[in-house]
A and B are shown apart, each in its own frame.
Chain A
């Protein structure tokens, strides 16, 4: 198929960006979206132009590196997948595809389609861990039975890949789904209880500091999340937060 691409180009974080049109031809429906981008870039380099910079690494939906806003949707038109798992069979000959970076004040553009997600790092550093030493002198793993149900639910929350699609698709640029997923994972496990109150307070405080917006329950994040992180995680975080405030101060 032949396609027209409208792509955000921006030299660096200080430059003013703009949409630029490109044409790509003979795209196979079996290609992945990023392979289509490879074709475009090969074409650009061959004609002496700078290729379009975009983040990607594993290309199998797990590293969370890829991050494109395609035709107004985070990770494009398909559901339950990341951009790197999107295939061209979702498009048809003659389509025009708009490709933009994540748009959020807390995710400044670094170049073209690449954004800076360090805010997510700092939120995790504020409390996304259990304070156990990596000394190897912990108790035997099976001395603490955990119900299968709790373990499975914790796993579902832990499946978040930190891509940022939830922020990009939220009209308030809220990071509640991302933070809720981490808080939930530990809230569901006995290991996480000791620091539960501090964790949720610190992570939420850091989230606010980073300039993410408030959650107004529109649920767009859940729809676009490639890993099926549910709104239940936000609710659980809110409960944890209330509990911590009652207990804490």
Chain B
């Protein structure tokens, strides 16, 4: 099948408006006869479910947690971008569009990103109307902060809990519709397959996680909003339950999987402490507004710190290497994530790491305390303040901005970050890759949509901070409700989709067989055993820096682990009850396939771009020596993989990317 992105004709700034003017609409009376399934209730699924229900469709929404409010969007800390230009610092829709395309290292689809920028302002209006308590200045207007990779302040935030507040906004909009009966909410339910009838997505098979019952649900269209697949690395900043199952299952039923190797390794996470580690915790990127990143300049100092013989505060200013400021003077500590992560790895690989494992760098707020403290002393008219007074005043400001993050850090590491710098290290955080969708957000299966982090669309090879929340809400509140209506206008006479058909029968049987297999396998190793092994291969060989030899080896190793998994996995308990190990087994089975495709995709992409760094593709000389080298001649495409059985047999389809409105440039943050 040839890929058709269905991007409308016309100048980029008019495409979306023109599109909306010409689509088919469904009249309100007919919407009542149309059912839509939304799997996932994060920012993407939650906003979609609420809006579709409000428009009059009958929505069935699914989440594996016990409430829509607990989707992992809740954990987003730093903020959400919007081109409001409230700061008057030269922002505009075009600039947001430009920054996002550039930040994504020119591997995203221009038209989608422009649309995203166009609706970004509406998101903020919408959220404020819902009562989202964004941070404000003393004049009562909305406050903004900066994020990495851009030169304007366009990030709206609610303390360090922006995702929580935005999701609770969605959740409240959903509750309003649940109360009206327009959304039927299925908590503690996991989608285990999609059902296709005559080539169209017409329903899902889901497991009730409390009773173990396998259920059939039908609809006229199915929306997948199940988040990212970062847990393929075992350790990530994702929630324990975050998974790729829904996305992978639809891939197996015909939805192409795009750019699986584009994964974001976030530079500021709390380093791991031991083998028992179950997840990694993010320290928001917003901290890079005020924190400075450094390691000791001298190797002997680094060694002494690793052995616990020196403390960071013992290192004199002149003996510190603020390596981001040194290497990238224009952006300094605010370079994009991929650049900051690789720079940290480079220093640690060279032996300059600052904890016992040698895998950590400092994030230091000392100079911010002084900067803010001095300002506060002026504001409060304190004459000749002492250093201690200044520090205290400055700490107060930092606390008001990031208090919850500092507290989170202290609880995990048992060190007070107001007194000693934080230790941070990169960790898997976000997946730019995902299910391929066209301009309508429809996958390669008719009537099957994919939104939010689960799709591939807007972030290219690297996502800029604060743009995932924007994308999730844009998709759900403002894009999908139009595009899906255009599709459903053909379905007004279809009537209810029956579930007692061979298609549902067959899909249900497949799901049940797999569950029975796990229960009866009686192997000798736990699910986590395999997940951890997969994670190690992914981190070591398909992590921040990749090469042909390791990627080839990774593919073989993952396949081996997968085969062993199917022979030897052990799942206690039974199918007809709440069974946490069984849930995990199904998810890890899918990760074990996705991981191999991920490595294959990384192998095929013989260029460095965004989060994907190929050691074979670096600049050899000039100012950019050693930096990633993109190859626009050969690789300016989206790789969309078609499932053919074994992951290694997947077939590559290319969506060539055209840049009509932005000139392709080397990304320089120097």
What class of interface size applies to chain A in its complex with B? Answer: 35 or more
Identity of the chain B residue whose Cβ is nearest the Cβ of A36 in the assembled complex: B276
Q: Which residues of the partner chain A approach B281 to less than 8 Å between Cβ atoms?
A: 59-60
Q: Which residues of the partner chain A approach B122 to less than 8 Å between Cβ atoms?
A: 136, 138
B172 touches A114 (CB 8 A): no
B276 touches A62 (CB 8 A): no
In the complex, whether B70 has a CB less than 8 A from a CB of chain A is yes
B66 touches A134 (CB 8 A): no
Q: Which residues of the partner chain A approach B141 to less than 8 Å between Cβ atoms?
A: 142, 145
B126 touches A134 (CB 8 A): yes
Known: A30-B273, A58-B239. A63 touches B175 (CB 8 A): no
A63 touches B131 (CB 8 A): no
In the complex, whether A129 has a CB less than 8 A from a CB of chain B is yes
B240 touches A57 (CB 8 A): yes
In the complex, whether B171 has a CB less than 8 A from a CB of chain A is yes
In the complex, whether B528 has a CB less than 8 A from a CB of chain A is yes
In whole angstroms, what is the CA distance A192 to B129 when docked?
9
A131 touches B176 (CB 8 A): yes
B129 touches A132 (CB 8 A): yes
A145 touches B140 (CB 8 A): yes
In the complex, whether A173 has a CB less than 8 A from a CB of chain B is no
Q: Which residues of the partner chain B approach A146 to less than 8 Å between Cβ atoms?
A: 136, 140
Identity of the chain A residue whose Cβ is nearest the Cβ of B176 in the assembled complex: A129
Q: Which residues of the partner chain B approach A28 to less than 8 Å between Cβ atoms?
A: 273-274, 276
B70 touches A64 (CB 8 A): yes
B179 touches A126 (CB 8 A): yes
**Interface readout for A23-45 with B: 1 if CB under 8 Å, 0 if not?**
00000101110110011001011
**A residues 109-153 touching B (CB-CB < 8 Å):** 110-111, 114, 116-118, 120-121, 124-126, 128-136, 138-142, 144-148, 151-152
* Cβ-neighbour of B276 out of A39, A136, A145 (below 8 A): A39
In whole angstroms, what is the CA distance A1 to B407 when docked?
26
A34 touches B135 (CB 8 A): no
In the complex, whether B330 has a CB less than 8 A from a CB of chain A is no
In the complex, whether B606 has a CB less than 8 A from a CB of chain A is no
In the complex, whether A212 has a CB less than 8 A from a CB of chain B is no
Contact stretch, chosen from B97-105, B452-460, B571-579, B638-646: B571-579
In the complex, whether B268 has a CB less than 8 A from a CB of chain A is no
A59 touches B279 (CB 8 A): yes
Q: Which residues of the partner chain B approach A191 to less than 8 Å between Cβ atoms?
A: 128-131
Identity of the chain A residue whose Cβ is nearest the Cβ of B160 in the assembled complex: A62
In the complex, whether B47 has a CB less than 8 A from a CB of chain A is yes
In whole angstroms, what is the CA distance A11 to B119 when docked?
49
Q: Which residues of the partner chain A approach B140 to less than 8 Å between Cβ atoms?
A: 145-148, 151
Contact stretch, chosen from A78-86, A94-102, A214-222, A236-244: A78-86
* Cβ-neighbour of B407 out of A56, A80, A129 (below 8 A): A80
Known: A62-B164, A87-B414, A136-B477. A46 touches B526 (CB 8 A): yes
Identity of the chain B residue whose Cβ is nearest the Cβ of A124 in the assembled complex: B175
B129 touches A81 (CB 8 A): no
* Cβ-neighbour of A141 out of B128, B241, B274 (below 8 A): B128
Considering only CB atoms and an 8 Å cut-off, how many residues of chain B contact the other chain? 77
In whole angstroms, what is the CA distance A240 to B173 when docked?
22
In the complex, whether A89 has a CB less than 8 A from a CB of chain B is yes
B131 touches A189 (CB 8 A): yes
Q: Which residues of the partner chain A approach B573 to less than 8 Å between Cβ atoms?
A: 50
In the complex, whether A65 has a CB less than 8 A from a CB of chain B is yes
Nearest Cβ on chain B to A41's Cβ, whole angstroms:
8
* Cβ-neighbour of A58 out of B67, B74, B581 (below 8 A): B74
Most central of B74, B135, B142, B407 by chain A CB within 10 Å: B74
B54 touches A136 (CB 8 A): no
Most central of B135, B168, B526 by chain A CB within 10 Å: B168
**Interface readout for B163-180 with A: 1 if CB under 8 Å, 0 if not?**
011001001110110110
Q: Which residues of the partner chain B approach A48 to less than 8 Å between Cβ atoms?
A: 572
In whole angstroms, what is the CA distance A45 to B414 when docked?
31
In whole angstroms, what is the CA distance A48 to B521 when docked?
13
Q: Which residues of the partner chain A approach B172 to less than 8 Å between Cβ atoms?
A: 124, 128-130
Identity of the chain B residue whose Cβ is nearest the Cβ of A65 in the assembled complex: B70
A162 touches B67 (CB 8 A): yes
Identity of the chain B residue whose Cβ is nearest the Cβ of A67 in the assembled complex: B66
B178 touches A125 (CB 8 A): yes
Nearest Cβ on chain B to A240's Cβ, whole angstroms:
15
In whole angstroms, what is the CA distance A133 to B158 when docked?
22
Q: Which residues of the partner chain B approach A155 to less than 8 Å between Cβ atoms?
A: 133, 135, 158-159, 161, 165
B168 touches A158 (CB 8 A): yes
* Cβ-neighbour of B138 out of A58, A65, A114, A148 (below 8 A): A148
In the complex, whether A232 has a CB less than 8 A from a CB of chain B is no
In the complex, whether B152 has a CB less than 8 A from a CB of chain A is no
Q: Which residues of the partner chain A approach B414 to less than 8 Å between Cβ atoms?
A: 87, 89
Identity of the chain B residue whose Cβ is nearest the Cβ of A146 in the assembled complex: B140
Identity of the chain B residue whose Cβ is nearest the Cβ of A59 in the assembled complex: B279
In whole angstroms, what is the CA distance A155 to B127 when docked?
14
In whole angstroms, what is the CA distance A51 to B136 when docked?
47
In the complex, whether A176 has a CB less than 8 A from a CB of chain B is no
Identity of the chain A residue whose Cβ is nearest the Cβ of B411 in the assembled complex: A85
In whole angstroms, what is the CA distance A96 to B131 when docked?
45
B119 touches A136 (CB 8 A): yes
In whole angstroms, what is the CA distance A200 to B260 when docked?
47
B67 touches A134 (CB 8 A): no
Identity of the chain B residue whose Cβ is nearest the Cβ of A63 in the assembled complex: B70
In the complex, whether A186 has a CB less than 8 A from a CB of chain B is yes
In whole angstroms, what is the CA distance A189 to B132 when docked?
9
Q: Which residues of the partner chain A approach B54 to less than 8 Å between Cβ atoms?
A: 133-135
- A/B interface sample: 22 pairs, CB < 8 A: A11-B577, A44-B572, A49-B572, A50-B572, A51-B580, A51-B581, A57-B72, A58-B75, A60-B279, A80-B407, A87-B412, A134-B51, A136-B477, A141-B125, A141-B128, A141-B134, A142-B141, A146-B136, A148-B137, A148-B140, A154-B133, A158-B158
For the complex with contacts A87-B414, A162-B70, 4 further pairs of A-B residues with Cβ separation under 8 Å are: A62-B75, A85-B411, A140-B125, A148-B138
Q: Which residues of B are at the interface with A, using a C-beta cutoff of 8 A?
A: 47, 50-51, 54, 65-67, 69-70, 72, 74-75, 84, 86, 119, 122, 124-131, 133-142, 158-159, 161, 164-165, 168, 171-173, 175-176, 178-179, 185, 187, 210, 239-241, 273-274, 276-279, 281-282, 407-408, 411-412, 414, 477-478, 526, 528, 570, 572-573, 577-578, 580-581
Top 7 closest pairs, chain A to chain B, by CB: A145-B140, A129-B172, A155-B133, A138-B129, A141-B128, A154-B133, A136-B122
